[in-house]
A and B are shown apart, each in its own frame.
Chain A
Amino acid sequence: MVGSTGRVTGTVGEGLVGEVLLHVPQRQGTEAFLAYLAVPGERLRPGTQVVVIEHQPPRTVYVAPL
């Protein structure tokens, strides 16, 4: 999962639980994950391309803007 790229579907930011859509090769599908900012910074609006920095199973990822 780490290193996967996806896009934001729910605003990711400080104090928010965002949502990103990521492709999961093991299950050959795109799934939604709860997303947090890997590095505190600006909010990521829906549509922003992101990369997964860390994955906490089952469905939480820490992302950074691509």
Chain B
Amino acid sequence: MLIGIAGASVASLIILIVLFKLMWRVAEPNEALIISGSRHRAEGVGEGLGFRIVTGRGTLVTPGVQVVRKLSLDLNEADLDVECVTSQGIPVHVKGVVIFKVGDDAVSIANAARRFLDQQAMMGHRVHNVFAGHLRSIVGGLTVEDMIRDRERLTGETRAASGTEMEKLGLIIDSLQIQEILDPTGYIQNLAAPHAARVMRDARIAQAEADRQATEAEQESFARKAEATRNSGIQQAGYQAEMETATARAMQAGPLALAASRQEVVVQETKVAELEAHRKEQQLQADVRKPADARAYETRTKADADRDARISAAQAQAKETELKAGAEANRVKIAALAEAEATKARGLASAEATRATGQAEAASAEAKGLAAAEAARALGLAEAEAIKARAAALAENQEAVVAQQLAENWPEIVRAGAEAFGNVEHMVLLNGAEGMGEMFAKALTMGGTGLGLARQLLGTMNGATQPAADLPAQAAAERPRAQSIPVQED
């Protein structure tokens, strides 16, 4: 009984467990359970969906009433392979890949469930169609160069354009990659041709340069190897030569030693001969040269003594003569000095006497001169007085004075006029005694003329008070006239 009860309990428990297992559904992490068949409310979706979405947890499902279906939340992949035409009209073939998944939120799951629950395998194809349309549209606005150089832009624009539609589908684009842009016309290849050629050229240049450098390095290496070989050969030859030299020296060692010993013997014999010669020379020096030198020395000494004696005698003679001459000279000098002294004394005495005489004569002359001067002075004074008196007289009565003078000096005047004939040796008178008297009258007239002149002078001296014009017309009349006297020439 007890066992029956226990068995029934276990069976019921098992039944309950089985029923629970049948009713309890658990959503895997990568799936969402879409439960339909009863009225449900989904979070964030609002009313009226009519199904329930469960993710990541378990839920009870009433078998036979509700239907549970799974929507995969795994990644899906859609390969893009789209024929496009660029803005330049060049057809290109764009290849890419889109990685997408159903969104994790309830709305996205609901959207995706309604669209793809029975067509999950077709999801990639749908997505491909969406992206193909957008991609064609975007590529149509770009150039091939833009697509190649800015592939990120192509990707971004495609993603942005298809994002909204993917949102409607409840899908999320995890990744979009443009993998390849093919060019059936060869445009891209031609576009890249210059660059490729340039790159190829650079590559060839680089290769040639590298080849050249390698060749240079190789040749330099060869040269260095040759140099090393040469140096090694030179060194080897040098060492060989040294070895041969050493060998030759070794071979010649015996003869060389013999020659050296022979040379030593010769040297010693030479030294002996030199010593012998030296000994003989010393012997000759002692036997011959020394006595000869002694004799020569004796002869030379004697000759020197004789010569010195003669020189001494001559020097004594010269000295004696010199002394005698000196004594004579001294004596003559002393006598001359005495004579000079005597002459000097006599001269001085004579000079003194002459000086005394001169002084006496000078005194006498002075006295005479003084006396004469006094006399001359007295005479001068007397004459001056006379002249003065005469001048006064002249001032008062010139004619009387002149007449007096003429009267006083008439005899001298006549004598002077006669003297003119005194030196005449022969005189021929053409008109006899009359001529004679005429001639004398003329001579005397000359004296009268001199008298006139004297008067004129006196007038001038008297301050021209009475100029020459005042001279008596008589005197002017008495002025002698030139008269030629015919003289008979011899």
Taken together as a complex, chains A and B put the C-alpha atoms of A29 and B105 apart, in Å, by: 11
Assuming the contacts A31-B172, A34-B167, A58-B170, asked whether A10 and B156 have C-beta atoms less than 8 A apart, the reply is yes
> Helix, strand, loop or mixed for chain B's interface?
helix
Cβ-defined contact, A19 with B167, below 8 A:
no
Q: Are A59 and B105 in contact (CB under 8 A)?
A: yes
Per the bound structure, the CA–CA distance linking A58 and B171 in Å amounts to 10
Residues of chain B within 8 A (CB-CB) of A39 are none
In this complex, what residue of A is CB-closest to B112?
A: A58
Which partner residue on chain A sits nearest B153 by CB separation? A11
Range of interface residues on chain A?
A: 10 to 19
Q: Does A24 contact B (CB under 8 A)?
A: yes
Q: Does A53 contact B (CB under 8 A)?
A: no
> Which residues on A sit within 8 Å (CB–CB) of B104?
24, 27, 29, 31
A11, B157: Cα distance in complex, Å? 9
Interface membership of A32, Cβ < 8 A = yes
Given A31-B172, A32-B173, A32-B174: A58 and B160 interface contact (C-beta under 8 Å): no
Contact of B159 (CB < 8 Å), options: A19, A57, A59: A19
Q: Mark A10-41, 1 if CB is under 8 A from B, else 0.
A: 11000011110000100101011010000000
Interface centre among B111, B159, B161, B163 (most CB of A within 10 A): B163
Question: Does A60 interact with chain B (Cβ within 8 Å)?
Answer: yes
Contact indicator B156/A58 (Cβ below 8 Å): no
* Assembled-state Cα–Cα distance A16/B44 (Å): 27
Bound complex: CA A58 to CA B42 (Å): 13
Specify which of A10, A17, A19, A58 is in contact with B103 (CB 8 Å cutoff): A58
The docked-state distance in angstroms from the alpha carbon of A29 to that of B172 is: 14
Q: A10-B156, A57-B44 in contact; A34/B105 too (CB < 8 A)?
A: no
CA A19 to CA B172, docked complex, whole Å: 11
Query: How far is the CB of A20 from the nearest CB of chain B, in Å?
Result: 11
Q: Are A57 and B160 in touch, CB under 8 angstroms?
A: no
- Whole-angstrom distance between the alpha carbons of A18 and B156 in the complex? 9
Cα-based distance from A18 to B163 in the complex (angstroms): 9
- Cα–Cα, bound, A21→B28 (Å): 25
Q: How far is the CA of A57 from the CA of B104 in the complex (A)?
A: 12
Residue pair B160, A10 in contact (C-beta under 8 Å): yes
Contact B167 A59 (CB under 8 A): yes
CB distance from A8 to the nearest CB of B (A): 11
Give every chain B residue within 8 A of A16 (Cβ-Cβ). 160
Residues of B within 8 Å of A19, CB to CB, are 159-160, 163
A11: chain B residues at CB < 8 Å are: 156, 160
Cβ of A56 to closest chain B Cβ, rounded Å: 10
Interface string of B91-124 (1 = CB under 8 A from A): 0000000000001111110010000000000000
Provide the bound-state CA to CA distance between A29 and B55, in Å. 14
Chain B, residues 149-167, CB within 8 Å of chain A (1/0): the string is 0000000100111011001
Residues in A whose Cβ lies below 8 Å from that of B167: 34, 58-60
Contact at B163–A17, with CB atoms within 8 Å?
yes
Q: Which residues of chain A are near B160, meaning CB under 8 Å?
A: 10-11, 16-19
For the complex, what is the distance from the CA of A32 to the CA of B166, rounded to whole Å? 12
Closest chain A residue, CB of each to CB of B111: A58
Closest Cβ of chain B to A18, distance in Å, is 7
| A58-B108, A59-B167 as given contacts; A31 in contact with B161, CB under 8 Å | no
Task: Enumerate chain B residues within 8 angstroms of A27, measured Cβ to Cβ.
Answer: 104-105
- Could you give, for residues 164-193 of chain B, a 1 whenever the CB lies within 8 Å of some chain A CB and a 0 otherwise? 100100101110000000000000000000
User: A15's closest neighbor in chain B, by CB?
Assistant: B160
| Docked pose: A60 CA to B165 CA in angstroms | 12
Q: With contacts A10-B156, A11-B156 known, is A57 near B107, CB below 8 A?
A: yes
B172 pairs with A32, CB closer than 8 A = yes
Closest Cβ neighbor of A57 among chain B residues: B107
In angstroms, Cα B451 to Cα A3, docked, is 179
In the docked arrangement, what's the CA distance between A11 and B153, Å? 10
What residues on B are CB-neighbors of A60 within 8 Å? Answer: 167
**Is the Cβ of A58 less than 8 Å from the Cβ of B105?**
yes
Contact A10 to B105, CB < 8 A, known contacts A57-B44, A58-B167: no
Distance of A2 from chain B, by nearest CB (Å): 14
Using a CB–CB cutoff of 8 Å, the interface residues on chain B facing chain A are: 44, 103-108, 111, 156, 159-161, 163-164, 167, 170, 172-174
- Given A59-B105, A59-B167, 18 extra CB contacts under 8 A: A10-B159, A11-B156, A11-B160, A17-B160, A18-B160, A19-B160, A24-B104, A24-B105, A31-B105, A31-B172, A32-B173, A58-B103, A58-B105, A58-B108, A58-B170, A59-B103, A59-B107, A59-B108
